[in-house]
Amino acid sequence: MPILAEKRAAGPAAESPVFEWRTAKTPVPYPAAIETMEQRVADILAGRAPELIWLLEHPSLYTAGTSASADELRTEKLPVFQTGRGGRFTYHGPGQRIAYAMTDLRTRGRDVRGHVCRLEEWAIRVLKEFGIKGERRAGRIGIWVDHKGREEKIGAIGVRVRRWIAYHGLSLNVHPDLSHYRGIVPCGLPDFGVTSLQALGAQATIQEVDEWLRRHAPAIFEN
């Protein structure tokens, strides 16, 4: 069980001066999210807008990344969206915090792998605040925990890059309905489970997770 300590009080959230921050109050339809991200990427490239971190939830749905295989979709009870991000099938829905990071890699070494590592580190630091030890695994992008001797995924990463502007980003399972993951082969990895902060015993709210995402962002993206 990876619960290490009681969660810490967040205090006032730190604001990153580099990014604009948005938080959606209601679930955002997936096509609308894609349209918003595509427009912001264009605006960043044109110098019309700053980088953006957008915190949101989606209605229950599946997305298929560029490496997804049709046989990894086990049911069509939920809407399925093809997307240009990397990766395979994943689930999005209420209780999952998504952090879409529209990030200018031209100022960060033009390093896509480095950007993925930043997103992973961001999630790992947030999980630590709730007493959960998130870890990387060689050859498997995302954030993993050791739960009762079994490796389970608690956070997924998927990015797309256009002219060195990265978008899409991180999803972190706070308290989603984990049964929906049975409708797919999550991330193309049938031998591993999926978990959440709630399933690990951390009584975290989406708002508390947001506070820690904001507090850790400057160290992740500005240093």
Written in H, E and C, the secondary structure of the chain is CCECCCCCCCCCCCCCCCEEEEECCCCCCHHHHHHHHHHHHHHHHCCCCCEEEEEECCCCEEEECCCCCHHHECCCCCCEEECCCCCCEEEECCCEEEEEEEEEHHHCCCCHHHHHHHHHHHHHHHHHHCCECCEEECCEEEEEEEECCEEEEEEEEEEEEECCEEEEEEEEECCCCHHHHHHECHHHCCCCEECCCCCCCCCCCHHHHHHHHHHHHHHHHCC
Give residue 187's pLDDT: 73
* Residue 12 clears pLDDT 70, i.e. is over it: no
Burial readout 42-64 (b: 16 or more C-beta within 10 A, e: otherwise): eebeeeeeebbbbbbbbebbbbb
6 assigned to some structural domain? no
Percent of the chain with pLDDT over 70: 92
Tens-digit pLDDT profile for residues 111-121: 999 999 999 99
What token pair was written down for 86? 């990397």
Query: Cβ of 1: how many Cβ atoms within 10 Å?
Result: 11
Give residue 191's pLDDT: 76
Give residue 8's pLDDT: 52
Over the chain, what is the mean pLDDT? 91
191 assigned to some structural domain? yes
What are the contacts of 39-43 at 24+ separation with CB within 8 A?
40/102, 40/167, 41/102, 41/162, 41/165, 41/167
User: Which one, of 171, 212, 216, lies nearest residue 194 by Cα?
Assistant: 171
User: Which one, of 126, 100, 122, lies nearest residue 219 by Cα?
Assistant: 122
The confidence band for 140, taking pLDDT boundaries of 50, 70 and 90, is: confident
pTM of the model: 0.90
When divided into structural domains, the chain yields a total of: 1
4 assigned to some structural domain? no
14 assigned to some structural domain? no
105 assigned to some structural domain? yes
What is the arithmetic mean of pLDDT over 44-52?
A: 97
83 assigned to some structural domain? yes
What token pair was written down for 35? 């349209």
Of 157, 187, 197, 209, the active-site residue reads 187
Instruction: Indicate which CATH number applies to the domain containing 98.
Output: 3.30.930.10
What token pair was written down for 130? 């709730």
* Residue 37 clears pLDDT 60, i.e. is over it: yes
123 assigned to some structural domain? yes
Q: Any idea what the Cα angle at residue 141 is, between residues 135 and 144, rounded to 5°? A: 30
Known catalytic membership, residue 117? no
10 assigned to some structural domain? no
> Lowest-pLDDT range, 44-53, 55-64, 136-145, 185-194?
185-194
* Domain with 120 in it: 19-221
> Lowest-pLDDT range, 20-29, 38-47, 214-223?
214-223
